[in-house]
Amino acid sequence: MTELVSRWNYPTTVRFGRGRIAELPDALAAAGIGRPLFVTDPGLAGLPVAARTLKILDDAKIDYALFSDVKPNPVESNLTAGVEAFRNGRHDGVIAFGGGSALDLGKLIAFQAGQTRPVWDFEDIGDWWTRADGSAIAPVVAVPTTAGTGSEVGRAGVLTHEASHTKKVIFHPKMLPVIVIADPELTAGMPPLITAGTGMDALAHCLEAYCAPGYHPMADGIAVEGIRLVFENLPKAHADGNDLVARAHMMSAAAMGAAAFQKGLGAIHSLSHPIGALYDTHHGMTNAVFMPYVLAFNRAAIEERVARLAAYCGIGGGFDGFARSVLDLRHRLNVPHALPGLIKGLDMDEQRKRLIADMAIVDPTASGNPVKLDRDAALQLLDQAIAGTV
């Protein structure tokens, strides 16, 4: 029996619901932010949803500055530029506005702006987070505009180390945003491709958290309901970008995934991270590609759990039924079945495969996989994902 010893943490204040972006000035005041740096990505910065939000700040006469030098997979140079903007503008907090990349980088800017050590000294390894000056971390108000990573309720940010092409998780408890505004209207009209990728990211978070070993019934319960919400609502949100009920449920599922994965993640993520770092693929879509292969690999350790999960979600056929439902959902969302469909012109030689396998097994998420992920296993999964053989 699993040892009944664990450590549990749960999210922050979330102002959830349609139209609640209007409360942004009040949320800033509640967070103690008077001069925010508005962090978003360059694509979103030019869209009406950002313009409407900035007008709310203008109408409230809030002194802010805009920063949008954010890559889809943020790198250290993005963070360096953001910290410089924060310090030069004498900002006292951050509005992190957008998907996972903007949310992560916004949190990292608020964290790193007050530190004197390199950001890599705070990687999520052991108690490295205690090296940071917690009193120098600026507050963050997070405003998600997608429904995938759940970074708005997370205490970490992912940053790509450009020299080694590896994704690193930077962690500190005070990176958790003070207030989240989760307004489904901000996700309305999101393109189907982004809706699919971010939604499958939420599913990957919930599924891997639920399957991770260890005792955490609260995370398990949240993950199970998050999975049900994704199966029920992601196809609707994908088909109709203005279905605000489905969009709201997907925002909930995304936050639930991030709350649940404090229990752990697994090989879906540990394989996805090096692929994203080396090929700059969309993280959620990469997770979606790897999902059925990892699910089958872990079967011996999770079959009974997944059968219970399937029953809760109203899916017949136990583990096999659930696995078929994952494949069906991917098909409905136009997720590529194999890596060559995700990475055009993919030509991966054995040396590159070994590099990816070696990166995957040392990724911090690998330790949460229900079946040990060694180099041979990582190579096997990578070959299956290239060939499309489940």
Q: How far is CA 236 from the centre of its chain?
A: 21
> How confident is the model at residue 267, as a pLDDT?
98
Domain identity same for 178 and 278: no
> How confident is the model at residue 377, as a pLDDT?
98
Whether 180 shows a pLDDT value over 50: the answer reads yes
Domain identity same for 173 and 196: no
- The last residue of a domain, from among 138, 164, 186: 186
> How confident is the model at residue 166, as a pLDDT?
85
pLDDT tens digits for range 157-177: 999 998 888 889 999 999 999
CA-CA distance, 133 to 111, in Å (whole number)? 9
According to DSSP, the residues that pair with 179 across neighbouring strands are: 13, 141
> How confident is the model at residue 3, as a pLDDT?
65
Please give the tally of structural domains in the chain: 2
Domain identity same for 235 and 204: yes
User: Measured between alpha carbons, how far is residue 109 from residues 8, 127, 191, 279, 311 in Å?
Assistant: 26, 21, 28, 25, 43
According to DSSP, the residues that pair with 232 across neighbouring strands are: none
Domain identity same for 159 and 178: yes
Instruction: Tell whether 4 is covered by a domain.
Output: no
Whether 45 shows a pLDDT value over 50: the answer reads yes
Domain identity same for 156 and 254: no
The whole domain housing 213 covers 191-387
pLDDT tens digits for range 339-356: 999 999 999 999 999 999
- The last residue of a domain, from among 158, 186, 214: 186
Whether 52 shows a pLDDT value over 90: the answer reads yes
> How confident is the model at residue 6, as a pLDDT?
63
Whether 9 shows a pLDDT value over 80: the answer reads no
Domain identity same for 182 and 198: no
Residue 171: which CATH number? 3.40.50.1970
Instruction: Tell whether 2 is covered by a domain.
Output: no
What's the whole-number average pLDDT of the chain?
Answer: 95
> How confident is the model at residue 201, as a pLDDT?
97
> How confident is the model at residue 155, as a pLDDT?
93
CA-CA distance, 270 to 272, in Å (whole number)? 6
